[in-house]
A = this chain, B = another copy of it.
């Protein structure tokens, strides 16, 4: 039996032989989410992600201009998913009261954030489009806000919501409440067991929804 030649360089992972088009891109995104999920945003480094996938750290640059661009891809993916969750929530309640529909959006929003904390931190952590570098990020955010605002507006039309200071301000109120609750849950300042998530969210968002509904 011939002796095996010694490996010249021990690699962290067995190193998949090849990533075909787009596979490495997706694998890098997943690795980023995994690292952020277990060790926070600063645990994600391009080098560590590449190491885990058994590729040279330079390989990432074939798919992303730089680290920030990879994070923007994570964020964009997350925003579309969040939008989808919100749309699904209202779509499932075609005949419900405005109150119930608004609450359902809030529940979907907080639920998505609580279940995808790594996505959440990338989406709402550093302001990736601050310099206008990733305008694509604004599209799903704007659409999600549209969903909320349209819901408020149609509630006002139906006479179920107080007109107050207009649908935009009302939508911002609810967004604040939803977003604050999501933030406090993800950062563990409010502890919620998974099984009780939906009911806790309902309890905590109800005052805001009720305040929007109440005519003074």
- Residues of A at under 8 Å CB distance from B? 40-42, 124-127, 130, 141, 164-165, 169-170, 172-184, 187-190, 203-212, 214, 216
Contact = CB atoms under 8 A, between A and B. Distances in A.
A40 B179 contact: no
A214 B210 contact: yes
A149 to B, nearest CB: 13
10 contacts: A124-B187, A169-B203, A169-B204, A174-B207, A176-B205, A180-B181, A180-B183, A209-B211, A210-B216, A211-B212
A188 to B, nearest CB: 7
Q: How many copies does the complex hold?
A: 2
A207 B127 CA distance: 28
Contacts of A207: 164, 170, 173-174, 208, 211-212
Say whether chain A's binding surface is mostly helix, strand, loop, or mixed.
Answer: helix
Contacts of A173: 177, 203-208
A203 B209 CA distance: 14
Given A40-B126, A173-B204, A210-B216, 6 more contacts: A127-B187, A173-B206, A176-B190, A176-B205, A177-B208, A180-B183
Contact of A127 (B124, B141, B188, B209): B188
B176 A181 contact: yes
Contacts of A130: 188
A177 B126 CA distance: 21
Contact of A175 (B42, B182, B184, B212): B184
Contacts of A141: 189
A181 B171 CA distance: 12
Contacts of A124: 183, 187
A87 B180 CA distance: 21
